[in-house]
Structure 1
């Protein structure tokens, strides 16, 4: 693209032009490789979860580093200059970096969504269950619920509210929070998204039913059915297959 569009005043002929311009590819590749270990670390400490906010921070951070690398490459290698200022850096980003964003970022996001995989961690039977209490908070300070993390059954989002269903000694109970589903995912270690409006504790799944057009899970201790979106089905099916072996 750099050679074809002739950016950064690169339409001037000079020795080894295509080879030198191809160096801009390193300015893109190196930041991605540098950020990747950090991306993996954040993914792991969030118990193998990746949120929209994480994706936004990742894209902005990587783009910023790409712009900086490209500036120094353009400044020292292409232009052969020896001194620079913050004003020059910002001018370069504004004039040559930002215009490339609409061309690169949509394709970048598409490739990440297409080739990225939703993973559901495998259950390790050899490890005994740990009894751990968690406290769920809603938008309002008075909205709290303390329970064992293993007692969470499923959650259902409706507009600006989320219904939490959990197990008790007297059976399944329900509590409504003013919140979002993404906020609940962060507070519920046992919660895994199977639909844009549902979170499920996989330990309560009884069966997976339906066909390619419409699938759902049936959970215990009730006969409640929860729809499964196609985007989450592959990971869920793989996890259940591994746990049954």
Structure 2
């Protein structure tokens, strides 16, 4: 069980994705309330009953959104942390919902016992559904990415070699470097520095420059040289293998001793480019 929760999990990586998932979460709560009408709402009679129930979806959706924003920039996310996040959402949402239910719907005195009843009800329904959602999303993304990677990898070894015409001119403080596009392999961000990997007379070399990854990208970006991760720039012409997992993809370049990650926010740019190269 504990080993399972340690598996990496693809959390939302953009504000747009976070907003979309939070909206869906809130709407699912609303659908659940309309269909099952828990917390005594089945006995609540009002001409605008369904309108009065709608704030519950706002409470849980907003809690989901705020918690997601808090973990947006965190790395090494896993299934255990995702479960903990959802548990926190359920607790926060149940607290706000309890006050709303007590003060505006039930009109009864506040009671710790009544709150625990609502909390247990929320956990009893929310945890199993959330666990199924997490596992299903993980398996789905893993299968999709693995299948795509297998298809593309089978064709990457047969793609045409890159042209050796364009010259990349890189300037950083007093350092000036010119590298043929075909010789550039990748670049890795290391705080305020970048490590450049390139080939020279058949040998793989690296050079550290005091420059940000974004500044470097502005100087060297081409149709083949792209940012694929918040810490990596890669020359897609040199990619010979692609691996997929639930988190995204990893690129392999024969000259490199490590794999280059592709974060989910860059998949829509990198994968179509690789597909275009092997067509």
TM-score (norm 1): 0.44
Q: Whose helix proportion is higher, 1 or 2?
A: 2
Structure with larger RCO (C-alpha < 8 A, sep 6+): 2
TM-score (norm 2): 0.39
